[in-house]
Structure 1
Amino acid sequence: MTHPTSLVLEGNEVKLRLQAERVQTGSPVHVDWLRFTVNLRFAPIPTVEHLFPPAQASEFDLRSEHQLSEDDRRRAKLCHLLRDIPDPDFAASTQALELANNVCDILGEGFTVDPEMKKGHDFYRHRWSILRAGNECGWVGFLASGESPRQRAQSKTIHCNLYGVACTFAAPGWAPRMADYMDEHRALVTRCDLALDFFDGISGGMDRVATDYDAGAMDHYGHRPEHNCVGAWRAGGVGRSFYFGSKAAGKQTNVYDKGVQLYGKQDATGWQRIELRYGNQKRLLPTDVLRRPADFFAGASDWHAQMLAEHGAIATPEPIKTEPRLPLETLMAECTRNARWFFSTAGKSAALAFLYMDRETLMQFIENCAEMPGRLAKFKRSEVERIYQQMFKKISGSGAGHTAFAH
């Protein structure tokens, strides 16, 4: 008799969780990843226990280790850690801890916060790990790892990142509850993945997906998105992925053999998944994406809506449009205005600084002034860089530069 592998058992558990969620929510679209950011001003207020951790000779310290429950050991460890946090970092640390605990409460039973503060990710200095069955399934980052202007701004925020496993094993109904919590604290969604699972496979399989692309089915507003094929793209190949869209634009879709990923090639099923990733690079993501994931899945393109309909679901397509760009003429005017001001007003002082200030001090000054001037702050940095160089050369070549730098 062949015993099922741990991989198969885990895959079956994931499938059962997803099927139960469908019954509970009535939606076939599953939220599979979530990231959001909260400003410290709106972050949750820490508990009294965290604000005023017990003294060293606490009730926990007076008992032997074997007399403490697991929860008591975690609390004691956490209190010791909080007492050692430097004062300037204490408020952000405890607010992040409170947010992590709140997120665990929303995710449901089995989710806890690791009492050990760990090194941060994504330019955050520290993180509180969110655990399930002893494994990290998410984290809450706080305090910046550097002193650049951008990171100083980041230090005023707390960031939560929930992996797919956290979203899959969370209690039914967690997503709308999380949306309410995020609204309460004015959180900004920075990433949300929406997954549509075909447990018996997509009609036509992965070959059909590639054919749809070639036929223009994924075109959006007359534009054909970028695409990339990964895996064994040949007749009968398994473990394939078809990506289309762009992370840089904040909307990318991956269609892939989910059964192979979960069960391995030996035990692969026909399970295939369409996974839509929304990011905030060029979009403002609403928290309603957690309340009505099917509507926002269908709103990604006509092809997404068609695939959802083939699944048997009815949705009202709601697109998340890119933010409108300010007219190029306005950007050119602002860059011209700034360049003229530099030559006419600041030119002599800038020349003096370049000639006589030591390089280290000058570079430190430039880094501290890396934020955009007020009138240019509303534009994207990449656009300003491109246009400003053109305008700067144009103004300097018109004689303004000679006048400004003349001795």
Structure 2
Amino acid sequence: MSWPNVSHLVLDGSEVKLRLLAERHFSKSPVHLDWVRFTTLRRNVATPSIDSLFPKPLELSANFSLEEYRLKEAEMVRQGVERRMPLRDFDAVEQFEAAAQAHELALNVAAALGPQFSVAVEPRKGIDFYKFRWSIELNGAECGWVGFLASSESPRLQSQAKTIHCNLFGTACTFADIGWNFRIADLIDENQGDVTRCDLALDFFDGIEGGIDSIRSDYRLGLCNVGGRKLKFNMVGDWENGHDRSLYIGSREAGKITNAYEKGDQLFGEKSNSEWLRIELRYGNKLRVLSSEMLRRPADFFAGASDWHASMLLKADAIVSPEPVKTTPRLQIETVLAECTRNARWMLETAAASFGVAVKYLSESQLWELVEHQKRPGRLQKFSESEIASSFSAAFARLKSFSSVECSPAFA
């Protein structure tokens, strides 16, 4: 079984459904990632080497100037050499460095999504207060972007200028190759990024008993309450005639909102009488810290949103381990655990072999000499010794419990 070919980005409902079914089959999870955004500090993103920016045999010194960039660009144009990244839009070396870092991140994101994705050859005007963006494309249509530099010199935006932001639309998530979510999660961790938005979608292709009306009834009965509180509720669409209906539970201000809507009407039109119902849980980073684990275990985090969300997964016959995303006042211990988990994952997946050799062949005194003056990793420096001590072993236990869950191989 393989992905259907994508000849264009007209979102044909049948094709979308087929791809979602294929993903569900290989991932063994009914929850689909439908939107992902993350931000990282520029200092955490490596600057590409000159060799990667300029094709051989062109050479530049380590201390090249902007004028040298211009001369080399003109030389490449005269020789008909294709550039990996256009230079003329950037008026300072610092701007060029930011553009190069963002371009490299965009290339890595596109590669993680699959070989059918590419990065636009020219930067475009930025979005969301970023000055520029590199578009991530699928067959020439933008399905995501990586933004860099601030759109103004205002003090409020100067901190944003120190970041690079990636935004992947639902189209990218739907048409990406199997395992893309694990690869993007690893990329976020490698660049010490912070997830700022993550949409988790549960599809009932044949609907549920009572349809979207049953969800409204659940809300009225208090089944959607969280912590004894009744959440905000809003309805849109043609409820009188039973078409294109959508309802919202929660609020963006709190960083968590659930949108249940008639997906079949959206994709096929109301005359199709499709029963397809989608429940989409949208997490934002307002009042919350979102973990990259959400990309690896979307069903667990969907179930952790509330008892009602867990009950919806039971309708899909899913077996999960609910993982809540707490609001800021209750975050400290979860944040320590999340950071310890990231560090433990790096040790297990990247450094374990080298660590094993050191333990086997170095004496106890040599081992102690190796580690005693080492600083803690940057992400753990903000926590106390007692907090790390109480969370690190739990982080290893968590990783061990999920070690049997492996990413399915990519389609042939």
Aligned to 2:306: 301
Q: CA 1:129–1:271 in 2, change beyond 3 Å: closer, same or farther?
A: same
Q: CA 1:94–1:86 in 2, change beyond 3 Å: closer, same or farther?
A: same
Q: Is the 8 A contact 1:194 1:276 kept in 2?
A: yes
Decide which moves more: 223-232 or 81-90: 81-90
Q: CA 1:202–1:82 in 2, change beyond 3 Å: closer, same or farther?
A: farther
Question: Does residue 1:248 correspond to 2:239, yes or no?
Answer: no
| d(CA) in 1 for partners of 2:164, 2:9 | 35
| d(CA) in 1 for partners of 2:93, 2:20 | 44
Number of residue pairs aligned between Structure 1 and Structure 2: 309
Cα shift at 1:88: 2.6
Equivalent residue of 1:321, what SS?
Answer: coil
Cα shift at 1:131: 0.6
Q: Percent identity, please.
A: 55
Aligned to 2:50: 48
Q: CA 1:93–1:219 in 2, change beyond 3 Å: closer, same or farther?
A: same
TM-score scaled by structure 1? Answer: 0.72
Cα shift at 1:62: 3.8
| d(CA) in 1 for partners of 2:226, 2:99 | 44
Aligned to 1:11: 13
Equivalent residue of 1:239, what SS?
Answer: strand
| d(CA) in 1 for partners of 2:316, 2:155 | 48
Cα shift at 1:44: 3.2
Q: Is the 8 A contact 1:8 1:263 kept in 2?
A: no
Cα shift at 1:17: 0.8
Q: Over aligned residues, Cα RMSD in angstroms?
A: 2.2
Q: Any residues of structure 2 matched to 1:268-279 within 5 Å, and which?
A: 268-279=273-284
Aligned to 2:128: 122
Aligned to 1:145: 151
Q: Is the 8 A contact 1:47 1:98 kept in 2?
A: no
Aligned counterpart for 1:24 among listed residues 23, 26, 31:
26
Aligned to 2:117: 111
User: Which structure would you say has the larger Rg?
Assistant: 1
Q: Any residues of structure 2 matched to 1:65-144 within 5 Å, and which?
A: 75-76=82-83, 78-81=84-87, 85-144=91-150
Q: Is the 8 A contact 1:7 1:264 kept in 2?
A: no
- Listed as ranges, the gaps of 5+ residues in structure 1 are 1-5, 64-71, 327-407
Q: Is the 8 A contact 1:238 1:260 kept in 2?
A: yes
Q: Any residues of structure 2 matched to 1:239-388 within 5 Å, and which?
A: 239-324=244-329
Aligned to 1:405: none
Cα shift at 1:87: 1.7
Q: CA 1:57–1:151 in 2, change beyond 3 Å: closer, same or farther?
A: closer
Q: CA 1:34–1:17 in 2, change beyond 3 Å: closer, same or farther?
A: same
- Listed as ranges, the gaps of 5+ residues in structure 2 are 1-7, 59-71, 332-412
What amino acid is the match of 2:177?
A: A
What amino acid is the match of 1:272?
A: L
Runs of 4+ in structure 1 off by over 3 angstroms are: 6-9, 49-54, 56-63, 78-85
Q: CA 1:294–1:199 in 2, change beyond 3 Å: closer, same or farther?
A: same
Q: CA 1:23–1:125 in 2, change beyond 3 Å: closer, same or farther?
A: same
